Amino acid sequence: MPECWDGEHDIETPYGLLHVVIRGSPKGNRPAILTYHDVGLNHKLCFSTFFNFEDMQEITKHFVVCHVDAPGQQAGASQFPQGYQFPSMEQLAAMVPSVIQHFGFKYVIGIGVGAGAYVLAKFALIFPDLVEGLVLMNIDPNGKGWIDWAATKLSGLTSTLPDTVLSHLFSQEELVNNTELVQSYRQQISNTVNQFNLQLFWNMYNSRRDLDINRPGTVPNAKTLRCPVMLVVGDNAPAEDGVVECNSKLDPTNTTFLKMADSGGLPQVTQPGKLTEAFKYFLQGMGYIAYLKDRRLSGGAVPSASMTRLARSRTASLTSASSVDGSRPRACTHSESSEALGQINHTMEVSC
């Protein structure tokens, strides 16, 4: 594998080309951070604010970052021909291993938002050995019933596509206030993303099936996400109910639920500092701590008491510290913090 793949790539997959952007170079045996954006966006619109945040860059310089754009959603993408069959959500998930194989990653830590969170969750269910951990923002594990489907169709007849997508991305309060952020995204969705391609992605997302997950022990042979998961949603965001339900269906021993106040529908854009702090502790809980320990992150930090609880929720009772590049069991997560040792994993709901 070359030392640096930095830049843009088009990767061949079983269901067509994927546009991928790599930042940084592989760091030993550490996983890559792989992102997948929400419908209506691309990796730049969805993640630039978060990954350009100074303290987040302090973290990501220790990892290679892989941004995946859904088919035809990147800036400047060619329009798909009439009759093109956009990949299903399951097929989108099945495209991700081609990216991992192309760059020689052993496994990834996924960060997904909305539709991208659904894709990465589906990917982790199908290919659990390729996923070290997941940060899922605004995930809705439910497919649309026929009433919801009809409402979406009606909305499409009475609203422009950008406005329909905005109601998916932002809270009603944000839309009513018509904030500068909403106006900016309305313009960028209209001008940056090919509208024909976007309509295909939007239609496919709205025809998704239920994510086949259940809390272990609730049904026979329950499927669940086996890796550590951090669920994130803004307070009163459109996706709040879906994220709450997703939390109820996940294994409480490896799940953290983070509800962020004053963050609206896009917490990674409006509260990058709080999300960075949470992500730091999420990484620490998985044992990636040698370079993060005692590093103080600045602006917008989550209150220390809440983040201590968050760190404990991601910590298993092990007595030895891990090395960043060491050969550790991937199912084990541990921390060097003596305060955290001996704690038992439980689902934690942290409001900040």
Give dist(CA 131, CA 223) in Å, integer.
Answer: 15
Give dist(CA 196, CA 72) in Å, integer.
Answer: 9
* For the chain, domain boundaries: 7-286
pLDDT in tens, 152-192: 555 555 579 999 999 999 999 999 988 899 999 999 999 99
Beta carbons of 232 and 275 less than 8 angstroms apart? yes
Q: 345 pLDDT exceeds 90? A: no
Model pLDDT, residue 337: 31
Give dist(CA 301, CA 305) in Å, integer.
Answer: 11
Model pLDDT, residue 159: 79
Tell me the torsion sign for CA atoms 27, 32, 35, 36: positive
pLDDT in tens, 251-281: 999 999 999 988 899 999 999 999 999 999 9
Distances in whole angstroms, Cα of residue 334 to Cα of each of 215, 280, 290, 312, 322: 23, 14, 12, 10, 7
Model pLDDT, residue 262: 86
Q: 87 pLDDT exceeds 90? A: yes
Model pLDDT, residue 154: 54
Per-residue pLDDT band at 291 (split at 50, 70, 90): low
Contacts of 233 (CB under 8 A, 6+ apart): 137, 138, 239, 240, 243, 244, 258, 259, 260, 267
Whole-prediction pTM value? 0.84
Per-residue pLDDT band at 5 (split at 50, 70, 90): confident
Model pLDDT, residue 220: 85
Strand order in the sheet with 7-13: 7-13, 16-23, 65-69, 32-36, 108-113, 131-137, 229-234, 255-260, 348-351
Q: Does domain 7-286 have CATH number 3.40.50.1820?
A: yes
Here the tokens at position 17 are: 């080309």
The secondary structure of 124-139, three-state, reads HHHCHHHEEEEEEECC
Q: 343 pLDDT exceeds 80? A: no
Q: Assign residue 286 a region: left if phi > 0, alpha if psi is -120 to 50, beta otherwise?
A: alpha
